[in-house]
Amino acid sequence: MYSVSIREHVLLAHSLKKEVFGPAAKLHGATYVVDAEFRTHELDENNIVIDIGLAAEILKDVLGKINFRNLDDMKEFQGHITTTEFIAKFIHEEIKKKVSTLFNGWLKITLHESHVAWASYEGKIGG
């Protein structure tokens, strides 16, 4: 299995409006380090998994939709609890829309909340 990983970061605000989340039920900020790992069994006709520059550009573009935003105010998140896991899937799905014709393999999105805690979402992209 081949892989290419890129890293970016995003700053956002949100609240997790359930008692189970304790103090995080209130509005708070989060700074995530975001890793996108593209994996495939076969290299493409250029002997690459995916162009690293293109992957970095797409990740930055997707994160731009939520960077410095309050997720509580965004209609696409209304009715959802925006946990780290949920945000990882959101990022995955947005990247999937942009690369599904360019990449065939698996994409794993990992959001690092800190040096001791992170969450991921992984799924298949392409044929």
Tokens matching residue 37: 């790992």
Tens digit of each residue's pLDDT (9 = 90 or more) over 35-63: 999 999 999 999 999 999 999 999 999 99
Stated pTM of the model: 0.95
Walk me through the domains of the chain, giving residue ranges and CATH numbers: 1-29+53-60+77-115 (3.30.479.10)
- pLDDT, residue 120, reads 98
**pLDDT exceeds cutoff 90 at 127:** no
Residues whose CB is less than 8 angstroms from the CB of residue 82 and which lie 6 or more positions away in sequence, other chains included: 14, 16, 71, 72
Strand order across the 28-40 sheet: 69-70, 2-14, 28-40, 105-112, 118-125
- pLDDT, residue 61, reads 98
Tens digit of each residue's pLDDT (9 = 90 or more) over 79-90: 999 999 999 999
